[in-house]
């Protein structure tokens, strides 16, 4: 393994305060654990609450893997746009058994990242601790660590929820996965964000009621021959082409 290659896991020799434990890391790993956020596969609607799963997956590096196959603790820093999304909380349903799975409260968060529970300013620090003496085993197909719950606040085409490698608010903090074999060994691999997309707009819903109906038709007929919001196809004038769009979208809008 050579520095700078994808198979090189950095040699760390420092003392770090993480998850309330003082640890010293000084080793190389022959495998690493990647963290990824997995959002819903279907588009979401405004005001919809949806799940984003945090998954850990083993990536075996060249050689025989004796480390980087399990974890005892994970510190994970999340980032999102608070104008678009709201962090509602978390759930452990469907996740691997853990001793603790939580957002540290502001009083217990030495990093200063969590200003409330759950955090609301667009960044959050999450801790996962494995049962004592029983590290969580991670395969190449991965395990679900926890599920974060978000709410879509506004209209957007897409929004990202990221895992930050590092963040300093009051004190420096890292996203880090601690090995289950060598105490204090950092086996953090790649960090993959989640992209959230919204339900396509409902162009025929001229009054924003969530339904294309006679009220929208009346607005279009009153604006017949004129430009403006009733010109749904962008031709420059409200005409039969726009009427066809209204009639084709008649009924409830997707996601309403």
Render each residue's pLDDT in the chain as its tens digit; 256 residues. 333 322 233 333 333 334 444 343 434 556 899 999 999 998 888 889 999 999 999 998 776 567 899 999 999 999 999 999 999 999 999 999 999 999 999 999 999 999 999 999 999 999 999 999 999 999 999 999 999 999 999 878 899 999 999 999 999 999 999 999 999 999 999 999 999 998 777 778 888 788 899 999 999 999 999 988 888 887 889 999 989 989 988 988 876 5
Beta strands of the chain (E only): which ranges? 14-18, 21-25, 31-38, 49-60, 70-79, 85-91, 100-102, 123-129, 136-137, 143-152, 158-164, 166-168, 172-174, 176-179, 188-192, 194-197, 211-212, 251-252
Q: What domains can be seen in the chain, in order of their start residue? A: 14-197 (2.60.40.680), 211-252 (1.10.1330)
pTM of the predicted model as reported, rounded to 2 decimal places? 0.73
């Amino acid at each position: 393994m050579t520095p700078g290659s994808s198979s090189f896991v950095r040699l760390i020799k420092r003392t770090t305060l993480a998850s309330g434990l003082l640890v010293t890391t000084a080793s190389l790993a022959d495998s690493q654990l990647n963290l990824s956020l997995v959002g819903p596969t279907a588009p979401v609607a405004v005001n919809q609450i949806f799940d984003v799963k945090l998954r850990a997956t083993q990536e075996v590096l060249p050689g025989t893997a004796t480390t980087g196959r399990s974890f005892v603790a994970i510190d994970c820093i999340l980032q999102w746009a608070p104008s678009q999304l709201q962090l509602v909380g978390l759930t452990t349903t469907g996740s691997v058994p853990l001793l603790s799975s939580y957002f540290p409260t502001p009083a217990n968060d030495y990093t200063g990242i969590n200003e409330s529970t759950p955090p609301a300013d667009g960044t959050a620090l999450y801790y996962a601790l494995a049962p004592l003496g029983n590290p969580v085993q991670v395969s190449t197909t991965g395990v679900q660590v926890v599920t974060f719950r978000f709410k879509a606040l506004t209209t957007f085409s897409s929004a990202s929820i990221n895992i930050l490698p590092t963040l300093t608010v009051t004190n420096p903090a890292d996203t880090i996965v601690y090995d289950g074999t060598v105490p204090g060994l950092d086996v953090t691999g790649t960090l993959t964000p989640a992209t959230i997309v919204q339900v396509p707009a409902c162009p025929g819903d001229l009054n924003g009621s969530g339904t294309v109906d006679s009220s929208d038709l009346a607005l279009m007929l009153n604006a017949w021959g004129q430009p403006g919001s009733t010109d749904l196809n962008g031709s420059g004038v409200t005409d039969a082409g726009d009427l066809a769009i209204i009639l084709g979208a008649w009924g409830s809008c997707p996601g309403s």
